[in-house]
Each structure stands twice: as C-alpha cells, then as structure tokens.
Chain A
Amino acid sequence: MKSLLATLALTTALTLPGLAMARPVSMTTTLNNYGGDGAYLALYVTDASGAYVGSLWMAGGKSKYYEHLTDWYRATGGDTAQVNGITGASVGAGRTFEITLDLADALFDAGYTLHIDAAVEDMRDSPNEVAIPLTTSGAGTPVNGRRYVAQFAYDM
C-alpha cells in the first residue's frame, strides 16, 4: 500500500504506463441529449474514507470553468496541476467518450471509488454524477449517471 501511495504522490495521476503492475482499463462514458453545450467531466478516485486520491482525466480545457465541477474543485483546491497532461476536450451532448488508461492493479478491490463530476454552461452543476467502486468483478457492468451521463462502464 505504501508503495502505491508513493507512486501516486510521484505522478499525481493514477496511471502507470508500461509497468507490469498496471493494466489497460478502457472507460466509456455516454452522455444524454440534455440539450446544451459540451459537458466538462472530471474523472477522479477517492479512497475508502472518501478522501481524494488522484485524478484520471479532465474533459474540458478551460480552467476557469473547473469551479463548477464542485466536488473535484473542493477536493483539489482547483489545482490544475492535478490534471496536467491528462486533459482533453469537453464532450458534446449525446456523444460517447472513451479513454484507455493503464491503471495500477492495486486500485482494484481495495475500497477505491471512481467519481465523475459534470458541469454544463448555463445548466446545473452535477457533482458526483457517477460514483462506482473499482472492483474486478464490476468491470463491464454499466451504471447510470444522475443527469448528464446516460451510462458509464469500465472494462479491462
């Protein structure tokens, strides 16, 4: 466990490219047709006590909007360094967004939860849109989001 945390502290992200103790995990997020601009999505992980561990991905490039991803913003203090190098474009309504990351094995079946915060301009903020425990058995089982996310699933 200590080594994992040390690794986390080093990379700030939870991805460990090219390491034997990591495996590729593909995450698929499908958005509703909520009738608005592109959604900002923050994908991050908390531990069993609910404390923020690290970010996996930030969909949305303008940091001035990050405050609307309220839980993520509160957990990180709006620190853009948390998503340096793991930031992409926002996701349009009705679109499907897929990423594949090399996640550390130690993240699975250890009480970690993956969260998605979502926000859309001029529409409600939706923190904790998705909260799904990271387990090997849960892979491939889609869950529904609260407002903007129609469906989310991770596969490995």
Chain B
Amino acid sequence: MIRAIHRWPVLLALALVTVLALSGAALSVFPAAERLSAPQPAAGLTVAALAERIQTAYPGVEQIRRSPSGRITAYWFDQGAPGAAVIDPATGKGMASADPNKTERWLTSLHRSLFLGDGGRIAMATGAAAMLLLSLSGAALVARRTGGWRHWFAHLRGPLAARLHVEVARIAVFGLVLSSTTALWMTASNFDLVPAGVGIPSPIAEVSGETGAALVMMPTLGGTPVAELRELSFPYPDDARDVFTLKTDRGIGYLDQGTGALLGWSDMTGWERVSETIYMLHTGQGAATLGLVLGLMALGVPIMGATGALIWLAGRRGRPRIRGNQSAARADTILLVGSEGGSTWGFAATLHAALMDAGQSVHVGPMSGFAPERYTGAKRIIVLAATYGDGVAPASAKGFLDRMKAAGRAPRVPMAVLGFGDRSFPAYCGFAHAVVAAVQAKGWPELMPLDRVDRQSPQDFARWGQALGEALGLDLKLSHQPIVPKAGKLTLVSRRDYGAEVQALTTILRFALPPVSLWQWLTGTGFARFKAGDLIGVMPQGSAVPRLYSLASSCLDGFIEIVVKKHPGGLCSGLLTALEPGDSVTAFLRRNPGFRPGRGSAPLILIGAGTGIGPLAGFVRDNKRHRPVHLFFGMRHEDSDFLYREELFDWQDTGHLSRLVPAVSRAARPEYVQDALRRDGGQIAALIGAGARVMVCGGRDMASGVADALAEILAPTGLTPAVLKSEGRYVEDVY
C-alpha cells in the first residue's frame, strides 16, 4: 500500500517536481551570493548614523531597506527623477545597482507559478504536496528496507538504480520535507488561508506639525542598531503631517519629523514571526548556508526521479500476466506469492502454467490476501516467498504472518513453502523461514520441507519443481526464464586449456566484445558496460534454462572472458568447451552488483577454488590502483589446473597482486584453501581487523569450509563472518 502511494504521485508529478527542484536548487545560490557580496556594517552602527550618512550623500532619500542578507538599499528622488543603489554602510554612498536580478526574478516566477499566475501557483503547490507525500512514504519505505528507523543509514546492496535511489533519498528527504512543508505554508499564506497582516501602530501622540529634526537627534533611530533594521521610510518633503516609518525585527513605528518622538509603535505579531521564519527556511534569505544545503538536497530529486522510474519499469517488466486464474473457493491448489520487485510473480506464473497443464485448477494471489476459510476446495497450499531486506516480509506478503496467527484451527490442507533470496545476504530467505516457523507453530501439515531458490536460479526452481511433482504424483517440469534479456552473439577469440591430461578439462575462453548499439551504450544495457564478477548467461540448445558463468574481465579490458569446466554430460559446459576460435555462442549479460570489490583502498582477501578463480583474476587484472590484494587459490594439481598461472605471477611483479597463496589438494602435502587460511590465520585476522574485504568464489562446499575457517580465525577478535556479511565486507559468489 505504501508502495502504491509512493509510486503513483511520482509518475503524475515527476515533471512538476523536477522543475520545482531544479529551479529551487538554482535559486538557493542567490541568497548566499548576496550574503557574500553585501558589505556588513561595523558593529554598533545605529540606524540614525547610517540614515544620516545616506541623507548626506542623497539628500532626496525616501526609503532605506535592509534585506535579511544585510544588504542595504536606498531609494531617493533627485530633481524629479527616482534613483536607487546598494549602499556601502561605511560611507553611505552607492556601490552597486539596486535593480532586481533578472535571472533570479525569472527563476522565482518559474519556481512558484510556472509564469501562470494563481493557476500556476496551485499547480506548483500540488507539486510540493506530491513531494511531501513522496518524501514521507519514501522514508517509510527506506525504514522498511533497512530494517527500521534505527538502521536509517545501514549498508545497502542490490541493483544500482535501487541503491542509488535510497542512498540519495535518505539524505535528501530531510531537506525535501522542510522545503515542501514551507512551500505549502507559503502558498496557503498567498491565498490568505493563514492569518497574516502587519500590525498598524496605534497612535500614542499627535503629529507635532513641525519639521526638520536631525536624524541623529531621534532617540528611536539612535537606539536601533543597523542589524535590526528592516526599513526606514522618510516623510514627504512638503508634508508636515507626514512621519518617519521605521520597521525593525521587533515591529513597526512612526516617528515625528519635527521632534523625533515616537508617535506610535506596534510589535510584530506571533503570526508574522511564524511567517517570516517559514519564509527564511524556504528561501534561505537570512539563512544562506541552510539555503545552499536545501538546494543541494533538491538536486537529488531528478536523480531519484530517474532511478525511481527505472525501478518501476523493471518491476513492471518482471511481472507477467497470469492467464486462467481460478477462484480461491474452487481451486484445488492455492498458490500464494510474496514478491517485492515482481520477479517471484514470474516464477508463480511458470508454476501456475505447469500445474494447469498437469490438469490442476490453481488460484494465484498475493500472500497478503491469505484467507484459509475461503479455500474450501483446496487440497494444498503452495507459498512462494521472497524476502525483503533483513528477513522482512516483501510487499505482497504484508500481514501474512498476522493473518496466519489469527487464523482459526488449521485445516488439514498441507502446505509447501519455497523461499526466494540471495545466498550472499545474512538473512537468506529469512522471511520464508519465518513463514515455515509460523506454519509449524500452527500445526499445519507440511507438504514438502522448505526449499530455497538462490538469486532467481532457474536450476534451483526446476529441481524443486521435480520434487513437488513427485510429492503430488504429477509429471511437473518447471522451465522458468526469469527475465528475457537481450542476448548477443559472442565470437570466440582464444582458448587456453588446463587439466585435459587428468580428464578434467577446464578452459579459459576469451570472446570478442560484441558490437554495442547507441541505445545500449547510453543506457548501459547489454554488453555496453560490465565488470568482472558480473554473469553471462548461455542458453544451451534443448534447454530453456540458461547457465550462468562469472565474468573474468570488465568491458574496459576489451574482451569477455569466462572460465568453464567441462562436466561429464554437461549440456552447456560441453558446448562451450568444444568451441574453437571463430565459433560463436549466444549469451546475455546479467549484472551481479553484490559481488564487486568496491571502491576504496582497504585490502582485499580473495578466496577461490577451481573455476572460481575467474572473477577473482578479473579483479586483480583491474586493480590498477595497486590496492593490497591477497589471493588464496585452491586447485587440484599444480601442473595441470593452475589457471592464470603466468598472469598471476606477472601481476605480482606489476603490483596488481600483493600475495598469492596456492593451495594444492592433490600434492605431496595436500592442502585446501581453508587450510591455507588457517595457516595464515593471524595475518588474515589482522587484515580483516584493519578493514579488509573478503570475497569468496567457487563451489558451495569450499565456501562453507572457508566460512568455518574464518569463523575460527576471527573468534579471538570477536568478529564473525555473519557480522562481516551484514557490513558488506564478506561476499560470496557460490555455485
């Protein structure tokens, strides 16, 4: 629901809000510039002394104004012609033109009314209201995503657009709330919806009718420092009944031009003060630094607009239409979906179609619509649950656990739960686990034990589908293609083979960069931009499920490199390891932003075995800034499968790689990477204590062995792999 509130006003008001933000950011510069250029009066200078100086320089002076920035402007009449200038308070003489800045005027009109008068003001106020709504609903989303208000600045992971959106939002939201609230107040004040009005001094004495008192002899002017002055208006030259009008920070008063006596005074009302403070907070006039900060925060709006649109489009694309959905009461299979970005709906659609093909009647709905009393014809309930943030329910599963707890006695309908998540997160499938715990607590019968799908892996899903088919006595084939990425044709340039002599062919394949269209180049899609650690997907013939391989090169290297081990009977690895230079294969790119060395100069500890060396070698190759890198590389035989041997030694010489620790499992003294880690435990602990980042790539067994070894190594320091993971300092790419 919050998501819907957050999304629709965005799309409607995006253009309006962008204009508001950009013009506001541009306007924020002016008060600061004015503050810097305005000469400040000497301390202790009184209005009387200043007015005297100005009157000496301009005998026809009519009005003196001081802006919140401290700039003093005088207006006068000289031989029938009006004049005005910015005044240097030290001399009383003009020093700059007092004409309003044309650019500032233009921007102000654009900013508050689109040059359209009252209609434009209402439109822009609507924009401000949209901004406020977005800021508040967005703040709630950020808190949900990071796991609560206390974790407001928690480390983020995920696709770049989503991350950037939140990174900018959680800083800019403070300024945007302030700017939009004050904007709404100012509009309300403009349409007389809030009390306003300047007080009128009530006369306490009659005008004397005399003229000619010297300014310095007027006690009120002498007692008012220039810093408090707003405006001093002089009486008409020939009108003895006219008065001096003085406006200060405290109020407004009239002074007799003959005696200098204070004829009347009115303090500023509370509403006036509120209005002025709000005006200052919004415009930065009188608070130039705050204005600049607000302006900078406003610049976040176009960034958030663009990234927000990308997130929305990605979510839309990822959500397929489900055809032939059965009603909840009549379906024999209830399929409940807990999805955040929409990708789990895709899996649900695949499962729905497969079950329909197998003759089942299926109802698909969001987990948040869980209503067991309505499932009168159900024989089973299947839950596909993604996880949001730190084990939190995703958007379409809000309230599921509460409904589950509130539900009456559990019906005898068995339930199966499949979790979707990312193994590299500490709370991998955390929400799915919570669902299973709730199901068990309720005594619900279990159709199948919990299974998990890592990073939308079609293989994981197909495997689970097979198990589901067996449990249901159906022939169920789930071939799910999560997103249909645009594939390109990759032509092999060279290959280097290892391990052929020990019947374990592993090859480093290097492909030419495919041609990139202008659109791909602009949007960074396809093979236009990629980094080592990203994935390429290859779709072998006769299978709808792509196989993913980690990239060992970045687009700047000018080639695409992967490491492939030939599996006996492996469809895709067989195809790839049989390629000869000149042959080509169809592949697509999938980003893997969770597995990047990141910026910074903290040391890197890279741990990999077998083909897992691929992305790690890519990181070392890209390490042009010579960040300290320690590479632990596990292999079987030093002679046959020491992948990248020559390059690794070269990179040590050039400073790309600080230390290389090979661990050979089939040697005279067999050793696995985890053994090598334990051997160097002291140094590893010291490096991690100094902020090092650990990256692990390779098989699942190796990764869990490494995690155990690190847990032992770190035990004396009080750190754990889980803590490192939550800080984003321990990432895995495991297969």
Residue positions of A touching B, CB distance < 8 A: 35-37, 50, 61-64, 67, 70, 73-74, 77-78, 122-125, 128, 146-147
| Any A CB within 8 A of the CB of B103 | no
Question: Could you tell me the distance between the alpha carbons of A50 and B82 in the complex, rounded to whole angstroms?
Answer: 24
Distance in angstroms from A75 CB to nearest chain B CB is 10
Contact check, A74 vs B200: say whether CB atoms are below 8 A apart.
yes
| Any A CB within 8 A of the CB of B600 | no
| Any A CB within 8 A of the CB of B55 | no
A36 surroundings in chain B (CB, below 8 A): 100, 105
B192 surroundings in chain A (CB, below 8 A): 62-64
| Any A CB within 8 A of the CB of B241 | yes
Distance in angstroms from A72 CB to nearest chain B CB is 12
Contact check, B197 vs A78: say whether CB atoms are below 8 A apart.
yes
Distance in angstroms from B275 CB to nearest chain A CB is 9
Contact of A70 among B109, B239, B245 (CB under 8 A): B245
Residue with the greatest number of chain A CB neighbours at <10 A, chosen from B82, B102, B189: B82
How many A-B contacts at CB < 8 Å in the complex? 47
Contact check, A37 vs B75: say whether CB atoms are below 8 A apart.
no
| Any A CB within 8 A of the CB of B649 | no
| Any A CB within 8 A of the CB of B153 | no
Distance in angstroms from A105 CB to nearest chain B CB is 29
Contact check, B233 vs A70: say whether CB atoms are below 8 A apart.
yes
Contact check, A78 vs B198: say whether CB atoms are below 8 A apart.
yes
Question: Could you tell me the distance between the alpha carbons of A124 and B75 in the complex, rounded to whole angstroms?
Answer: 7
A147 surroundings in chain B (CB, below 8 A): 82
B197 surroundings in chain A (CB, below 8 A): 63-64, 67, 78
Contact of A125 among B63, B102, B198, B239 (CB under 8 A): B63
Contact check, A124 vs B63: say whether CB atoms are below 8 A apart.
yes
| Any A CB within 8 A of the CB of B735 | no
Question: Which single residue of chain A is at the shortest CB-CB distance from B63?
Answer: A124
Contact of A122 among B63, B75, B105, B118 (CB under 8 A): B105
A146 surroundings in chain B (CB, below 8 A): 77, 82
Contact check, B196 vs A64: say whether CB atoms are below 8 A apart.
yes
A124 surroundings in chain B (CB, below 8 A): 62-63, 65, 75, 82, 84
Interface members, chain B 173-195 (any A CB < 8 Å): 189-190, 192
Contact check, B84 vs A67: say whether CB atoms are below 8 A apart.
no
Contact check, A78 vs B63: say whether CB atoms are below 8 A apart.
no
Question: Could you tell me the distance between the alpha carbons of A35 and B84 in the complex, rounded to whole angstroms?
Answer: 14
Distance in angstroms from A115 CB to nearest chain B CB is 12
Question: Could you tell me the distance between the alpha carbons of A147 and B82 in the complex, rounded to whole angstroms?
Answer: 6
| Any A CB within 8 A of the CB of B236 | yes
Cross-chain pairs A/B with CB under 8 angstroms, 7 sampled = A50-B239, A62-B190, A63-B196, A67-B198, A78-B197, A78-B198, A147-B82
Distance in angstroms from B293 CB to nearest chain A CB is 24
Question: Could you tell me the distance between the alpha carbons of A145 and B75 in the complex, rounded to whole angstroms?
Answer: 16
> How many B residues face the partner with a CB closer than 8 A?
25
Distance in angstroms from B38 CB to nearest chain A CB is 15
| Any A CB within 8 A of the CB of B99 | yes
Distance in angstroms from A32 CB to nearest chain B CB is 10
Question: Which single residue of chain B is at the shortest CB-CB distance from A147?
Answer: B82
Question: Could you tell me the distance between the alpha carbons of A73 and B254 in the complex, rounded to whole angstroms?
Answer: 14
- Name 19 extra pairs, CB < 8 A, besides A36-B100, A37-B109, A64-B189: A35-B99, A35-B102, A36-B105, A37-B105, A50-B241, A61-B118, A63-B192, A64-B192, A73-B198, A78-B200, A122-B105, A124-B62, A124-B63, A124-B65, A125-B63, A125-B233, A128-B236, A146-B82, A147-B82
Per-residue CB contact flags for chain B residues 70-86 toward chain A (1 = under 8 Å, else 0) read 00000101000010100
A50 surroundings in chain B (CB, below 8 A): 239, 241
Residue positions of B touching A, CB distance < 8 A: 62-63, 65, 75, 77, 82, 84, 99-100, 102, 105, 109, 118, 189-190, 192, 196-198, 200, 233, 236, 239, 241, 245
- Interchain residue pairs A-B with the least CB separation, the first 7: A124-B75, A67-B198, A122-B100, A147-B82, A64-B196, A77-B200, A78-B197
Question: Could you tell me the distance between the alpha carbons of A124 and B542 in the complex, rounded to whole angstroms?
Answer: 81
Question: Could you tell me the distance between the alpha carbons of A125 and B82 in the complex, rounded to whole angstroms?
Answer: 12
Distance in angstroms from B115 CB to nearest chain A CB is 11
B190 surroundings in chain A (CB, below 8 A): 62, 64
Distance in angstroms from B416 CB to nearest chain A CB is 66
Question: Could you tell me the distance between the alpha carbons of A102 and B65 in the complex, rounded to whole angstroms?
Answer: 39
Question: Could you tell me the distance between the alpha carbons of A74 and B200 in the complex, rounded to whole angstroms?
Answer: 7
Residue with the greatest number of chain B CB neighbours at <10 A, chosen from A35, A50, A62, A70: A62
Distance in angstroms from B76 CB to nearest chain A CB is 10
Question: Which single residue of chain B is at the shortest CB-CB distance from A77?
Answer: B200
Question: Could you tell me the distance between the alpha carbons of A70 and B233 in the complex, rounded to whole angstroms?
Answer: 10
Distance in angstroms from B79 CB to nearest chain A CB is 13
Residue with the greatest number of chain A CB neighbours at <10 A, chosen from B65, B118, B197: B197
Distance in angstroms from B78 CB to nearest chain A CB is 12
Question: Could you tell me the distance between the alpha carbons of A73 and B200 in the complex, rounded to whole angstroms?
Answer: 9
Question: Could you tell me the distance between the alpha carbons of A78 and B35 in the complex, rounded to whole angstroms?
Answer: 32
Question: Could you tell me the distance between the alpha carbons of A64 and B272 in the complex, rounded to whole angstroms?
Answer: 11
B105 surroundings in chain A (CB, below 8 A): 36-37, 122
Distance in angstroms from B495 CB to nearest chain A CB is 73
Question: Could you tell me the distance between the alpha carbons of A16 and B258 in the complex, rounded to whole angstroms?
Answer: 41
B236 surroundings in chain A (CB, below 8 A): 128
Question: Could you tell me the distance between the alpha carbons of A67 and B230 in the complex, rounded to whole angstroms?
Answer: 14
Question: Which single residue of chain A is at the shortest CB-CB distance from B192?
Answer: A63
Contact check, A123 vs B63: say whether CB atoms are below 8 A apart.
no
Contact of A123 among B62, B100, B200 (CB under 8 A): B100
B75 surroundings in chain A (CB, below 8 A): 124
B239 surroundings in chain A (CB, below 8 A): 50
Distance in angstroms from B106 CB to nearest chain A CB is 11
Residue with the greatest number of chain B CB neighbours at <10 A, chosen from A73, A74, A128: A74
Distance in angstroms from A147 CB to nearest chain B CB is 5
B77 surroundings in chain A (CB, below 8 A): 146
A63 surroundings in chain B (CB, below 8 A): 192, 196-197
Distance in angstroms from B61 CB to nearest chain A CB is 11
Distance in angstroms from B559 CB to nearest chain A CB is 61
Distance in angstroms from B439 CB to nearest chain A CB is 62
Distance in angstroms from A63 CB to nearest chain B CB is 6
Question: Which single residue of chain B is at the shortest CB-CB distance from A128?
Answer: B236
Question: Could you tell me the distance between the alpha carbons of A122 and B197 in the complex, rounded to whole angstroms?
Answer: 18
Question: Could you tell me the distance between the alpha carbons of A78 and B190 in the complex, rounded to whole angstroms?
Answer: 16
Distance in angstroms from A149 CB to nearest chain B CB is 12
B100 surroundings in chain A (CB, below 8 A): 35-36, 122-123
A128 surroundings in chain B (CB, below 8 A): 236
Question: Could you tell me the distance between the alpha carbons of A123 and B99 in the complex, rounded to whole angstroms?
Answer: 8
Distance in angstroms from B418 CB to nearest chain A CB is 62
A35 surroundings in chain B (CB, below 8 A): 99-100, 102
Residue with the greatest number of chain B CB neighbours at <10 A, chosen from A37, A64, A147: A64
Question: Could you tell me the distance between the alpha carbons of A62 and B197 in the complex, rounded to whole angstroms?
Answer: 11
Question: Which single residue of chain A is at the shortest CB-CB distance from B121?
Answer: A62
Question: Could you tell me the distance between the alpha carbons of A32 and B241 in the complex, rounded to whole angstroms?
Answer: 30
Question: Could you tell me the distance between the alpha carbons of A113 and B241 in the complex, rounded to whole angstroms?
Answer: 16
Distance in angstroms from B68 CB to nearest chain A CB is 13
Question: Which single residue of chain A is at the shortest CB-CB distance from B275?
Answer: A64
Question: Which single residue of chain B is at the shortest CB-CB distance from A65?
Answer: B190
Question: Could you tell me the distance between the alpha carbons of A35 and B189 in the complex, rounded to whole angstroms?
Answer: 26
Residue with the greatest number of chain B CB neighbours at <10 A, chosen from A36, A50, A123: A123
Question: Which single residue of chain A is at the shortest CB-CB distance from B200?
Answer: A77
Question: Could you tell me the distance between the alpha carbons of A26 and B144 in the complex, rounded to whole angstroms?
Answer: 67
B245 surroundings in chain A (CB, below 8 A): 70, 74
Question: Could you tell me the distance between the alpha carbons of A37 and B245 in the complex, rounded to whole angstroms?
Answer: 25
